[in-house]
Chains A and B, each alone.
Chain A
Amino acid sequence: GEDVEQSLFLSVREGDSSVINCTYTDSSSTYLYWYKQEPGAGLQLLTYIFSNMDMKQDQRLTVLLNKKDKHLSLRIADTQTGDSAIYFCAESINTDKLIFGTGTRLQVFP
């Protein structure tokens, strides 16, 4: 069945890089996504990657996809306190519905 897993917490110092990891089970994923949720807010689409790509970079964000290992990561360079939030990995498989991971709470300390 479809399952997406993430570690629950990540704590980093301001200015360091953060790497948030995600694994998924269904190899027929079409797109993989990263969403950010700040306290009391909705889900903000950060970036997505098509399943035939292995890397996508967008300013401070780098997404790496390892299809063989079914592993997706989000690297945030020069992490700021404003990056503190919950980050959700999600996949879609031949349809438009999203299957979300548990979310990783990123805490950035000075």
Chain B
Amino acid sequence: EPEVTQTPSHQVTQMGQEVILRCVPISNHLYFYWYRQILGQKVEFLVSFYNNEISEKSEIFDDQFSVERPDGSNFTLKIRSTKLEDSAMYFCASSDQVASAFFGQGTRLTVV
């Protein structure tokens, strides 16, 4: 069964460093998303991406965040200068239509 894969599963980084979280969406999907879940809190929407551009973003997704689809298969989330409060589980998702997004297993980001 096709699935969304994310790497790495766990990333530890120092405050102020840049991180890139990687995702390989399901191959025929056209819509891509990033969500995050801070420990003990709700899963929060960050950004959606369609047709090579951001279609919607939340207030969380400020200038420190960016997304890219560099080669037609990967979908990346970059955090330019990490803060302690960026520590969370980051989930990538993809869908072939507006409903039914499929999620990856997540990348746990720990900022120290």
Contact = CB atoms under 8 A, between A and B. Distances in A.
B105 A42 contact: yes
Interface stretch (B14-22, B69-77, B80-88, B94-102): B94-102
Interface residues of B, number: 26
Question: At the interface, is chain A mostly helix, strand, loop or mixed?
Answer: strand
A95 interface: yes
A33 B98 CA distance: 12
A4 B65 CA distance: 26
Contacts of A96: 31, 33, 48, 50, 55-56, 95, 98, 101
Contact of A98 (B45, B55, B104, B105): B45
Contacts of B58: 97
A45 B100 contact: yes
B106 interface: yes
Given A92-B98, A92-B99, A95-B56, A100 B43 contact: yes
The 10 closest A-B pairs by CB, nearest first: A42-B105, A43-B103, A100-B43, A97-B45, A42-B103, A96-B98, A31-B99, A42-B104, A100-B42, A42-B106
Interface of B: 4, 6, 31, 33, 35, 42-45, 48, 50, 55-56, 58, 91, 93, 95, 98-106
